[in-house]
């Protein structure tokens, strides 16, 4: 294991410079061409751009969707408009149905027209509105199909329509109850000894679409449980004693668990929160019904001895990791080390630079795009003086991991910083730490130490204290202490 140390100079007896509380003014930012579309279409149709962007993230992860024959029904376009609503949406927006499926801007116009006519529930009921509200509250750091960056600023006080009461699950305390239509399952009285397999599915659609589909009497399909990708939320839809219709002719002795996502894009949908929540549920079921916690009795739809041609959850499902989590009761571990920080040594006020942090994943859990983030530390969740509006998720969340990073691999986190407004040279020392959003911070803190000079100032005075976090012209007495930051390597450079 690589070990290195960097030293930050912390001034004694000097004041820490303060900055006005940062507030996100740019609701949707990033370098993706979709950003301008969200802003333009939202502004044109009177729909908040961040709401439109969050709906796209929730429904399709910023991809054009054209899925048919899935258990969640068909969804179309960049915001995953339910197929039944496409003709009406096309009419409202003055675009063709074909354009909704193939042209990003046309699909956004159609989705925004539906939202304007009603509200977010027009895209799939209360479930969509609830998911969009949650996404807006935590913010989003995602990538489009070309890998370009899209940031939706966090809005912790966001309030959107569609939030309703939550009912306790019938059989599992970790789930909420969302009853499937009685037309979509068979009634039974199954108990211990009557259930011998757990079948893992993926939905080939969004969480909300799947729930809605199972509640539609015409669907004639269902599953006992559905797990959401973003946070691992679980809905129970069919009582375990009853026979859900999830696996054609392998239903009588099985329990079916659907997982939000698409088998073709496991890196976007098969998240660690979903793996862990599903594994916790499966572990509970295995204990309850005496099912061995191994791959075999716990199997994929495509492996089941049924009479269907389904292949889900596909080769992207990490069976080794999933079974390990099942055996551990769903508990993964988040550990980080061997941190390298590549950051500017100095900036002028208003000047921006790029910080690149590389970190080794020493835990058992993968780090996911959007979920595993760089957060402010010492103290936690403070607003950073280096915040860049439109690039950061919020003033306390700089970025998320650039790509899904499995256990044992090295992840990269890239974000911009801005030189704070100063009237005299100052040194800033900002502490950060990784956080699994909705869970906990982990790994050692790391620092970005930055010398900031006034804009346009050719400073010719004495050298600034390195990373002191305080004004060198404060006049306070005191020397400097060298503080070792274990397990951290720093490269300092001029801004690019």
pLDDT in tens, 367-390: 999 999 999 999 999 999 999 999
pTM (2 d.p.) = 0.84
Q: Average pLDDT of the chain? A: 86
Phi/psi of residue 385, each to 5°?
-70, -15
Q: Quick check: helix, strand or coil at residue 348? A: strand
Q: Is the pLDDT of residue 29 over 70?
A: yes
The reported pLDDT for the residue numbered 166 is 58
Query: Each residue of 31-62: b (16+ CB within 10 Å) or e?
Result: ebebbebbbebbeebebbbbbbbbbbbbbbbb
Residue 424 buriedness (CB in 10 A; 0-12 / 13-18 / 19+): middle
- The lowest-confidence range among 38-42, 182-186, 355-359, 438-442 is 438-442
Range from 6-10, 193-197, 247-251, 400-404 carrying the lowest mean pLDDT: 6-10
Q: What percent of the chain has pLDDT over 90?
A: 74
Could you report the per-residue pLDDT of 287-298, keeping only the tens digit for each? 999 999 999 999
- The answer to whether 373 and 399 have CB atoms below 8 angstroms apart is yes
Q: Which residues pair with 176 in a beta bridge?
A: 168, 235
Structure confidence at residue 264 (pLDDT)? 92
Q: What is the CA radius of gyration of the chain?
A: 25
Q: Please, where are the H alpha helices in 224-297?
A: 266-269, 272-289
DSSP conformational letter for 453: E
Kind plus residue range of the DSSP H or E element containing 90: helix 86-93
pLDDT in tens, 131-174: 999 999 999 999 999 999 999 999 876 454 444 455 777 899 99
Q: Residue 495's pLDDT is what?
A: 45
pLDDT band at 305; cut points 50, 70, 90 = confident
Cα separation, 238 vs 493, whole angstroms: 58
pLDDT, mean of residues 170-194: 96
pLDDT band at 22 (very low <50, low <70, confident <90, very high): low
d(CA 217, CA 335): 46
pLDDT at 176 over 80: yes
Cβ(221)–Cβ(248) under 8 Å? no
- The tens digit of pLDDT for each residue in 458-487 reads 555 544 444 333 332 233 222 222 223 334
On the question of pLDDT at 230 being above 70, the answer is: yes
Q: Token digits for 421?
A: 């407004």
pLDDT on residue 121: 87
pLDDT of 458: 55
217 contact partners, CB below 8 Å, separation of at least 6: 181, 182, 183, 184
Q: Given this model, what pLDDT does residue 466 score?
A: 41
* pLDDT digits 0-9 by tens, 407-434: 999 999 999 999 999 999 999 999 999 9
472/292 Cα distance (integer angstroms): 65
Taking alpha carbons only, the member of 398, 373, 395, 375 closest to residue 385 is 395
DSSP-assigned states of every residue in 154-195: --TT---TT-----B-SS-TTSEE-PPPGGGEE-----TTS-
- Ramachandran category for residue 46: left, alpha or beta (phi over 0 → left; psi -120 to 50 → alpha): left
Q: Could you give the angle at which helices 126-138 and 207-214 cross, rounded to 10 degrees?
A: 160
Rounded CA gap, 181 and 451, in Å?
A: 63
Query: What span, in angstroms and rounded, lies between the C-alpha atoms of 81 and 120?
Result: 11
Percent of the chain with pLDDT over 70: 84
Confidence check: pLDDT of 448 > 90: yes
| Structure token pair of residue 35 | 């950003």
Kindly state the average pLDDT of the residues 343-364: 97
């Amino acid at each position: 294991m690589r070990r290195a140390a960097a030293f930050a100079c912390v001034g004694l007896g000097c004041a820490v410079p303060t900055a006005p509380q940062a507030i996100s003014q740019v609701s949707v930012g990033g370098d993706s061409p979709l950003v301008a579309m969200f802003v333009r279409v939202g502004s044109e149709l009177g729909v908040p751009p961040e709401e439109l962007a969050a709906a796209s993230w929730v429904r399709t992860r910023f991809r054009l969707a054209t899925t048919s024959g899935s258990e969640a029904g068909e969804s179309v376009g960049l915001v995953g408009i339910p197929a039944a609503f496409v003709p009406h949406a096309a009419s409202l927006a003055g675009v063709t149905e074909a354009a909704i499926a193939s042209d990003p801007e046309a699909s956004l116009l159609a989705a925004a027209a539906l939202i304007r006519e009603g509200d977010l529930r027009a895209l799939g009921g209360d479930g969509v509105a609830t998911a969009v509200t949650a996404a807006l509250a935590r913010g989003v750091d995602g990538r489009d199909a070309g890998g370009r960056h899209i940031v939706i600023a966090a809005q912790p006080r966001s309030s959107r329509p569609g939030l309703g009461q939550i009912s306790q699950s019938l059989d599992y305390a970790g789930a909420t109850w969302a009853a499937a239509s009685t037309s979509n399952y068979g009634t039974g009285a199954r108990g211990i000894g009557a259930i011998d397999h757990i079948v893992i599915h993926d939905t080939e659609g969004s969480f909300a679409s799947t729930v809605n589909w199972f509640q539609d009497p015409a669907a004639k399909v269902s599953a006992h449980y559905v797990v959401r990708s973003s946070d691992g939320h679980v809905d129970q839809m069919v009582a375990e004693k009853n026979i859900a219709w999830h696996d054609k002719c392998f239903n009588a002795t099985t329990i079916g668990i659907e997982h939000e996502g698409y088998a073709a894009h496991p890196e976007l949908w098969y998240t660690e929160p979903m793996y862990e929540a599903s594994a916790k549920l499966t572990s509970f079921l295995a204990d309850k019904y005496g099912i061995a916690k191994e791959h075999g009795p716990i199997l994929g739809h495509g492996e089941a001895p049924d009479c269907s041609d389904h292949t889900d959850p596909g080769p992207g499902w990490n069976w080794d990791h999933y079974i390990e989590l099942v055996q551990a009761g769903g508990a993964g571990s988040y550990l980080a080390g061997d941190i390298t920080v590549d950051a500017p040594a100095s900036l002028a006020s208003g000047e921006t630079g790029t910080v690149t942090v590389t970190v080794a994943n020493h835990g058992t859990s993968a780090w996911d795009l959007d979920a595993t983030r760089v957060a402010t530390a010492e103290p936690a969740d403070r607003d950073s003086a280096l915040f860049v509006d439109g690039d950061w998720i919020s003033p306390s969340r700089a970025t998320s991991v650039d790509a899904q990073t499995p256990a044992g691999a090295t992840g990269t986190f890239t974000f911009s910083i801005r030189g704070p407004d100063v009237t005299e040279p100052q040194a800033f020392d900002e502490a950060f730490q990784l956080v699994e959003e909705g869970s906990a911070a982990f790994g050692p803190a790391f620092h970005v130490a930055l010398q900031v000079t006034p804009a346009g100032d050719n400073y010719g005075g004495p050298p600034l204290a390195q990373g002191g976090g305080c004004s060198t012209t404060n006049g306070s007495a005191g020397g400097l202490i060298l503080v070792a930051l274990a397990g951290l390597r720093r490269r300092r450079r001029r801004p690019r």
